[in-house]
Amino acid sequence: MSATLNAYLLYRGLAKADVYHFSRKSAVFLSKFLLAAIAMGAAVWYYVPEISQWAKMDFFMRVYWLVWLIVLAAIVYGTTLILLGVRKAPFADKKLTSRYNAEILLFFMDKDMQLIRGLHNANRVFTRLCANDRQL
């Protein structure tokens, strides 16, 4: 739940700063990952042993099944993404990635500076109020 909240807050902040906006291309890209996750979940659900079988297994057999299911999940997920046309190239574009990273960093530095200024101003107001109380 907290990861979802953090993702939402990050998106909201980036959208307000005109750094990133959700587009049709983003929706298609996200739907490809969602389909791959569904395919991975279906494959694991299909091959996972019943709970009664799992309870009868010894430790090493459970480890074997767990490793096998993890490998199966990775293969199904990766294969589905490849079949849906997701490639590594857009993630490897250093110019694009560094530009967005710089904009995001500047956005958050600006927000941190606003917070620091606000705290500094609040401290000044508090100090003045305390000084006025001492004078009375």
Band (90; pLDDT cuts 50, 70, 90): low
Report the percentage of the chain scoring pLDDT > 70. 64
Contact 86, 26 (CB under 8 A): no
Contact 40, 80 (CB under 8 A): yes
The residue with greater pLDDT, 35 or 17, is 35
CA dist 40 to 27, 29, 50, 66, Å? Answer: 20, 17, 18, 14
Check residue 50 and give its pLDDT.
Answer: 93
Check residue 49 and give its pLDDT.
Answer: 92
Check residue 5 and give its pLDDT.
Answer: 83
Report the percentage of the chain scoring pLDDT > 90. 38
Residue 94 reports pLDDT greater than 60 = no
Angle at 64 between CA 62 and CA 69, to 5 degrees: 95
Residue 107 reports pLDDT greater than 80 = no
